Structure 1
Amino acid sequence: MPRPHVLLSAAVSIDGHLDTRPGEDRLLLSNAADFDRVDTVRASADAILVGAGTLRADNPRLLVNSPERRAARVAVGRPEYPLKVTLTGTGALDPGWKFWHHGGDKLVLAVGEEATEKARANLGDLARVQQIPAGTVWPAALDLLGDAYGVGRLMVEGGGSLHTQLLEGAYADELHLVVAPLLVGQPDAVRMLGPAQYPGGPRARLRLLEARQIGDVVLLRYAPKDRSTEQR
């Protein structure tokens, strides 16, 4: 099976932050209407991927919350919930996190043998743990998800390191970016993207698919693989 269609989903402040500085209470960037939109996108996905750092910082459940959307999945022969996936380079995963105790199947992609052994020891039967090679993390992860798990549509909900890697490697097919009317301003706040060698360099323009106001936030949908250096 081909690699999944990779959709990155994030909400940011006007100055590009996912959150305030580490250790502070989580910053809610979106609104109720947009959370419902995200729930629709989750319901459309075969799998939802989040980094271990985001699990550690936010302790999310990552569910499809609408009973109607879950029922619609079941009605067409899909699992009630998308497969929940996390990526770890250390295997330092807390078995008490909500991620393991809600929703359907869970999968850990562990980079290297040491992280794999540690993840299995920490989690027991809470999740399936599969090793992927350190040198080809994303090609191996996407091939595995497509071939072994039948994932056709992969939703990536962060954090910033994953978004950066997937955009830098040209693995992302779609970007859903919600901009909230907030200015964080803290120099050590959590940013969505870090320094990277992005395809095409700083003059490459991504194709805009949609711009939509949702209450006091704006959804921007881009096609990251479709870039132009045309001056405008």
Structure 2
Amino acid sequence: MELKMVILNDNEPSPGLKNEWGWSLFIEFKGKKILFDADTSAEIIKYNSKKLNIDLDSVDFAFLSHYHMDHYGGYGYFAGKKSFKVYTPDDDKILREFGLLPIEVKGFKEIEDGVFSTGAITGFGLKEHAMVIRLDYLNILIVGCSHPGIDNIAKIVYENLGEIYFTIGGFHEPSLKALDKLAEISKYVAPAHCSGNKAKEYVKKNYNSKYIETKTGSKIILPF
């Protein structure tokens, strides 16, 4: 079994693709196609998905890490699709205004076959949840901005499912101590989006064998 993911948009650009401040991942797992966050605007993910030969209309369900524009803005692409499921950390009118079907997740639970939510965790005054995909016995942690702390999120996953194989997403300019804690329980680490150059450079220098570089358009197949 394998998991495929493509970064539709990150803060790091790639030639031939459009780019802006935001975060969105397209994931294929167990025959399902999943969208994790949707960037800031529908235009960017629509353009990049075509360039990357991805059919956004084939998405089976989506996951919104938290209610910030650079993560939910692109869900406007799916406007009017009333049966389009988006798992969320809180009840909100935004996705309903798009005409979508938000599903609030309460507590750590399996939301689809092999796909888990950490449940809402509070940080910086807002609720956020992270996704975990169980690839055989390997735990893949995908985060949005990690407002509650990437180390705190990883700890919750570790306590519920065990060691983490791969962590990817925005770490919200974490402390070096938080990165050390993450590296203790995650075999591979891919700081992206709002992680900041300091975090990327620190992981690359101090945990080089764990560091995975990413940018808009990156294609990742797991396990490595």
> Which of the five TM-score ranges fits, normalised by the shorter chain?
0.3 to 0.5
The answer to which structure, 1 or 2, has the higher relative contact order (CA under 8 A, 6+ apart) is 1
Larger Rg over CA atoms: 1
Question: What TM-score comes out, normalization by structure 1 length?
Answer: 0.39
Structure with the bigger percentage of helix: 1
